[in-house]
Structure 1
Amino acid sequence: MEGIFMKSLKIIVAAALAASMLVGCGSTSDDKAIYNFSSEADVTSLDSSVSDDGVSFNAIHAFSEGLMDITAKGGTKLVPAAASSYKVSDDGLTYTFTIRKNAKWSNGDDLTADDFVYSWRKLIANAGSYAYIFGKEGACIKNADELAELGTTAGDKIKELGVEAKDKKTLQVTLSQPCPYFLEIMTFPCFYPQNQKFVEKCGSKYATDAKYLLANGPFKVTKWTKSNKITFEKNNKYYDADKIELDGLNMYLVQDPKTAAAAFDNGKVDFATINSALVDKYEGKDSLVKFKQGYMYYLYLNFNNKALANTNIRKALSLAIDRKDLCNKVLKDGSREADGFVSADFTYGPDGKEYRSEGKDYTQYNLKEAQVAFDQGLKELGVSSLKLRLLYGTDETPADTEAEYLQACFKKLKGLDIEMVATVKKDRVERQKSDNFDISCARWGPDFPDPITYLNLVSTGNSNNYGKYNNAKYDQLIATSTTERDAKKRWQMLYQAEDICMSEYAVLPVFQKGAASLQNKKYTGIVYEAALGSAFTFKFIHKTK
């Protein structure tokens, strides 16, 4: 990635689950190392061509693996995974991967280059959520954008996708333009392989139950109770099985933080995610660990709304938010105030410096200046007051807490009335798509460790540009940065682009999500990576002596 890597956060963790599910179920036994990991949310799908959420990615990454992966030390360096090696052409347009000779599926079938070709074509042909990431907004694979447009109508044209099995163990990927983060994006679950013969035999039942899943990763799924628990055991067919120290993994789903914390206190589990309401109780204890996540929480502003199309109104809203107070006194989970649209401690430039350390701070708090800007905006609009709707999902914690805090901030602006519109994530997204909002609480988890994963969001025509921000110079910088081979020049283009969109308040960054968890020190080795496809990697976990 020409020096652009996400800084990893390696954390020692252990898992948690609701007490109601713990009867007769200890976290480990004396003779086996069974790691219990709890998730606050549910899995949506274990089909890598369908899933689009972090909990599903965690589960999929436990039993499946792509061409590249992180090391036990974290994400400053990537290594070949299902591939044993790769070569890049001089023009940066062709990547040739050699699939490991001893890479197999859990049923004994060889892992082949065709498994990747099949999986990638399948996702695009089925119009998967991440079809866009194969094109110029992501991996820049040849013909991906055109085929994603066709989706389910692609037919035989899907064979024009720039991926080919040259032989059983040689995969060749052709790009439409150089992609400086191509190897990093290969860690994302949508680029994982699938066994065509097995998938087609399962038909519509594929990935709906443990018996309809195959593994090529360190673990395999042995039981899946929906909205409850996924049980994994070590996959002895995995090419690196002799280095996997865990005998198994339990992933508990939809766990309430309060109940999970109680289970952790009782010594029954190893990892418990807790919320801000519980942080004070565990502050100062070595079991409490806080860490940054890649999720950026920000506000979409609807530029089709005459009031929000006014720069001074947008400026006033931004200046009215006390982001530090929100993070330090309300969230208290390791979240930090957003300085710009690109997260901190997330990506590094060609000089090795962290992106935000070289970038500007665009999010000052100044209520007095906010009122001045708001009054000027009202004057320009020819009105004496405004009423704006604040849309948020009640099932997107802590977006509900964020929304309540923002309402209190905005109410301090004289002449502004805020109407709270509470809904669920699915409806929030639909309202954004249909232009039925004024201000919306949104979040974005990075797809790969490069600033463009955020900056693309406000490009003209981007499917996620719900606010309909439009700036020709910004679009030109983003477009040119995708083809610039000089890493230093490209980096400066990205800084310039961010300066434009932040100076115009294209979106209002609020905070970078943190997480607070309770961790059993009996285990070490879990690696957390927010921008490399899945947040947690379990294969390096081991018991301490």
Structure 2
Amino acid sequence: MVRSIKGSAIVFVTVLLVWTTLLAGCAKKSNTGGGAGAAEQKLRMLIASEPPSLDPGLAQDNNSSTVLRPIYDALTRLDEKGEPKPAAAEKWDVSADGLKYTFHLRSNAKWSNGDPVKASDFEYAWKRALDPAMTPPAPYAYQLYYLKNAEEYNTKKMTDASQIGVKAKDDFTLDVELKSPTPYFLSLVSFYTYFPLNEKAVKANPAFAAEANTMVTNGPFLLKEWKHNDSLTLTKNPNYHSAADIKLTEVNMKILNDAGTMLNMYNTNQIDWAGRPTNEFPVDQLPKLKQDKNMNLQIKGIASTYYYEFNTKAEPFDNAKIRKAFSLSIDRKSIVDKITLGDQTPAHGLVPPGIRGETKTFREEVKDDYFKDDVAEAKKLLETGLKEKGYAKLPAVTLIYNKSEAHKKIAEAVVDMWRQNLGVDVKLEVQEFGVYIKNRQNGNFQIARAGWGADYNDPMTYIDLLQTGGGNNNSKYSNPEYDKLIKDTYGTSDQGKRMKTMAQAEKMMIADMPIAPIYYYTGIWAQKPYVKNVFVDYKGDVDFIHGYIEK
């Protein structure tokens, strides 16, 4: 009897082991085949600072953009190569002359409060950003000037908003009319100034974007929690029109701007993603980190430029020769070789590599040989500029930058170059990000650290940055000839003519030197091997919309 029981037990255990093995095999197959598997679908990352604004009409920085893009659905969404794909609009028609677009919205799209997403939500949001009475004004209102009569309305040359080239034909059809053909318009409408807004929610609470529980959004993720100056938590939106394609259930964004702490958190498995787009690695440790296979460090060129901007309305930088002297006395190669150490390249133009040109990239077709680092020439320019201003010596100068170890090291190196090469002393002032942004917007600076990444894949996203009156033209640069070249570019869809005109504009602007380009960025980040299908796109933004965790 005992023996019989023992034999049965052996048989039972054997069957159990076989069954368990089969189940394990099925689970493994499910894990690899389904993409997400049984792993907890939570992504942990950092952003460098509190987002200054999560109002799509007011946002203008990387931190805000990183939060906004997953919680809103624009008409299109860009893929890794910058190609526009259907998002809130499932399809569209374009007229033969390139002036009229008809967007057909998804009929099953909903806002987080249950309202259907309608064409009128886009019309309302775009006209709101263009409204000259909007307070504060939308810094990116000029990005909507492609619409017929948009600029005229925003600049008060006309008062009838119904004449702006955007109209909800019905609940799910949006008609758009442009003032001139715009080859990159489908890319442009993926940008956050073109996001829709729930009119009912905005009008009920003008401060709708200040707290998580008052935001009504339509993207693949919802802003579940916002602990100000601490963290933001995003959760999967179950009512998203393509919810079945979203694997991550939660994305936690801890607010932290300390490279050393970030590195420690990554190495101790407290975060899954470190670095780009909002944080930077300790630059002095980059050579070692590149060799550390456990870091899984990634570096790639992105369409973004690092530069210093001069306030052309503030002394002494209201003088072009003094601006040029400061720029030409910077040793850019030394900065990328000895300071930044992330495979960046020196910049002598504004448009970075990777942006489309006519047949190749713009930077391949138009070389950035507008000037060269030249200390001797810089000294001559400074001497002439001082005489033109009537200065016996240069007045006090301050360079502001936002908190970052990399920004600090670059600023210290540049200030030392100015001291050695020009014999001038420049004071450094580090500022909290929100304060730094406001001071640049309000012109409360002489020199400021700056950077610009692509809003869409065309040189114009850089060239029109410095047009007169532009919402992001912090240098307050104004040149009627430059503005005319921009308008001429807007007025043609001939790619050859467009590129030639934008090259002329870039050359003209660099000759006036309202900015001092320093280097073209690379995207530097680390991701755990189990983080799948999350990528940094051509312009340096992180996209985790279709990401998942596989362990």
**What's the TM-score bracket when you normalise by the shorter of the two chains?**
0.7 to 0.9
Shift of 1:38: 1.3
User: Aligned residue for 2:484?
Assistant: 476
1:300 maps to 2:309: yes
Q: What do residues 44-71 of structure 1 show as CA deviations (whole Å, max 9, x unaligned)? A: 3333233332222211211211001123
Counterpart AA for 1:542 = Y
Aligned pairs (5 A) from 1:343-422: 343-345=352-354, 347-356=355-364, 358-375=366-383, 385-387=393-395, 389-395=397-403, 398-420=406-428
Aligned pairs (5 A) from 1:277-296: 277-286=284-293, 287-296=296-305
d(CA) in 1 for partners of 2:543, 2:471:
30
Shift of 1:363: 4.7
Shift of 1:394: 3.9
Aligned pairs (5 A) from 1:230-241: 230-241=232-243
Long gaps (5+) in structure 1: 1-27
d(CA) in 1 for partners of 2:40, 2:194:
33
SS at 1:359 equivalent: coil
1:539 maps to 2:545: yes
Match of 2:334 among 325, 332, 341: 325
Shift of 1:106: 3.6
Match of 2:125 among 109, 119, 127: 119
52-61 vs 434-443, greater mean Cα deviation:
434-443
Q: Contact between 2:141 and 2:471, CA under 8 Å: does it hold in 1?
A: no
Counterpart AA for 1:127 = M
Q: Contact between 2:46 and 2:274, CA under 8 Å: does it hold in 1?
A: yes
Shift of 1:520: 0.4
Q: What do residues 391-412 of structure 1 show as CA deviations (whole Å, max 9, x unaligned)? A: 2134366443332221111112
Counterpart AA for 1:192 = F
d(CA) in 1 for partners of 2:237, 2:440:
42
Shift of 1:340: 0.5
1:443 maps to 2:446: no
User: Aligned residue for 1:316?
Assistant: 325
1:229 maps to 2:237: no
Compare CA radii of gyration and give the structure with the larger one: 2
User: Aligned residue for 1:516?
Assistant: 524
Aligned pairs (5 A) from 1:3-18: none
d(CA) in 2 for partners of 1:315, 1:413:
13
d(CA) in 1 for partners of 2:230, 2:402:
21
Match of 1:339 among 348, 361, 374: 348
Match of 1:217 among 201, 216, 219: 219
Counterpart AA for 2:270 = K
Long gaps (5+) in structure 2: 1-35, 276-280
Shift of 1:82: 0.6
Aligned pairs (5 A) from 1:99-248: 99-125=105-131, 127=134, 131=138, 133-135=140-142, 137-149=143-155, 157-201=160-204, 203-204=205-206, 206-248=208-250
Match of 2:509 among 501, 509, 515: 501
- The 3 A distance-change label for structure 1 pair 129 and 174 is farther
Counterpart AA for 1:524 = K
Counterpart AA for 2:375 = L
d(CA) in 1 for partners of 2:282, 2:171:
48
Counterpart AA for 2:92 = Y
Shift of 1:39: 1.1
Q: What do residues 136-163 of structure 1 show as CA deviations (whole Å, max 9, x unaligned)? A: x555122322333459xx9x84444322
410-419 vs 57-66, greater mean Cα deviation:
410-419
Instruction: Name the structure where helix makes up a greater proportion of residues.
Output: 2
Shift of 1:453: 2.3
User: Aligned residue for 1:54?
Assistant: 62
Q: Contact between 1:37 and 1:252, CA under 8 Å: does it hold in 2?
A: yes
Match of 1:258 among 260, 270, 289: 260
User: Aligned residue for 1:66?
Assistant: 74
SS at 1:85 equivalent: strand
277-286 vs 319-328, greater mean Cα deviation:
277-286
Q: Contact between 2:315 and 2:446, CA under 8 Å: does it hold in 1?
A: no
Q: Contact between 2:60 and 2:139, CA under 8 Å: does it hold in 1?
A: no
Match of 1:35 among 37, 43, 53: 43
Q: What do residues 362-415 of structure 1 show as CA deviations (whole Å, max 9, x unaligned)? A: 352233443354455556767675345132134366443332221111112354
Count of paired positions? 508
User: Aligned residue for 2:7?
Assistant: none
User: Aligned residue for 2:22?
Assistant: none
SS at 1:232 equivalent: strand
- The 3 A distance-change label for structure 1 pair 302 and 233 is closer
1:96 maps to 2:102: yes
Shift of 1:164: 1.1
Aligned pairs (5 A) from 1:447-462: 447-462=455-470
Q: Contact between 1:319 and 1:366, CA under 8 Å: does it hold in 2?
A: yes
Q: What do residues 483-540 of structure 1 show as CA deviations (whole Å, max 9, x unaligned)? A: 0221111111111111222234342211233443221011121232365xx9222112
Q: What do residues 451-495 of structure 1 show as CA deviations (whole Å, max 9, x unaligned)? A: 222222333444544545444433322221110221111111111
- The 3 A distance-change label for structure 1 pair 427 and 106 is closer
Shift of 1:304: 5.2
Q: Contact between 2:311 and 2:514, CA under 8 Å: does it hold in 1?
A: no
- The 3 A distance-change label for structure 1 pair 246 and 330 is same
Tell which has more relative contact order, 1 or 2 (C-alpha 8 A, sep 6+).
1
369-378 vs 238-247, greater mean Cα deviation:
369-378
Q: Contact between 1:95 and 1:173, CA under 8 Å: does it hold in 2?
A: yes
Shift of 1:436: 5.7
Q: Contact between 1:141 and 1:162, CA under 8 Å: does it hold in 2?
A: yes
User: Aligned residue for 2:500?
Assistant: 492
Shift of 1:434: 6.4
d(CA) in 2 for partners of 1:232, 1:85:
28
- The 3 A distance-change label for structure 1 pair 376 and 133 is closer
Shift of 1:307: 5.9
Shift of 1:322: 1.0
d(CA) in 2 for partners of 1:415, 1:544:
57
SS at 1:32 equivalent: coil
d(CA) in 1 for partners of 2:181, 2:389:
45
d(CA) in 2 for partners of 1:175, 1:132:
20
Identity over aligned pairs, percent: 29
Tell me the TM-score normalised to structure 1 length: 0.83
Q: Contact between 2:301 and 2:523, CA under 8 Å: does it hold in 1?
A: yes
User: Aligned residue for 1:14?
Assistant: none
SS at 2:81 equivalent: strand
Counterpart AA for 1:245 = K
364-373 vs 126-135, greater mean Cα deviation:
126-135
